[in-house]
Amino acid sequence: MQLGNLTLSILDVIALIWFLLCWAGYSYYVNTHNGSLAATMSAWREKWALSMLQRDNRIVDAQVITGLTNVVTFFCSTSIFITAGLFASLAASKQIVELINQLSFLQSTNITTVELKLGLLVVIFIYSFFKFGWAIKQHSYSAVVLASVPDTKQTHTPQDIRTAKLMGQLSSLGAQHFNDGIRAYYFALATISWFIHPLVYMAVVSWVILVLHRRDFRSKLLNHLMAEK
| pLDDT per position as a tens digit, 118-132 | 999 999 999 999 999
Share of the chain above pLDDT 90, in %: 62
Phi, psi of 3 (to 5 degrees): -125, 90
Mean pLDDT of the chain: 89
Cβ contact 125:118 at 8 Å:
no
pTM of the model: 0.90
Q: How many folded domains does the chain comprise?
A: 1
Cβ contact 149:92 at 8 Å:
no
| pLDDT per position as a tens digit, 148-164 | 888 777 656 788 888 88
Q: Which of 17-21, 97-101, 215-219 has the lowest mean pLDDT?
A: 97-101
Domain containing 80: what range? 2-227
| pLDDT per position as a tens digit, 26-83 | 999 999 888 899 999 999 999 999 888 888 788 899 999 999 999 999 999 999 999 9
Q: Which pLDDT does position 5 carry in this prediction?
A: 52
